[in-house]
Structure 1
Amino acid sequence: MVYNPESLKIAFELMIFGMGGIFLVLFLLYVVSIVLIKRFPA
């Protein structure tokens, strides 16, 4: 297997953007749920 530092760098960038996107979506869902709970209490 040939080690290519450039492809490793690209793989890490993709992984960081992917994880960041997942956490961003989860954070937005969390904020929206808090707003809806405050707006429409049971």
Structure 2
Amino acid sequence: GLEAVLTQKGDIGQEYIIAFASRSNNNVESNYSSYEEVILV
């Protein structure tokens, strides 16, 4: 499956979750590896 979390840091540095989304892979996407991680900063 796929998931995404959108967070925002507050004034004192604490991280808050703004939005969360997830879905299952379709048949074609299931053929791809799930080990590659992408982090956007």
User: Hey, which of these two has a bigger chunk of helix by percent?
Assistant: 1
- TM-score normalised by L of structure 1: 0.13
Which is strand-richer, 1 or 2? 2
- Which structure is larger by alpha-carbon Rg, 1 or 2? 1
TM-score (normalizing by structure 2): 0.13
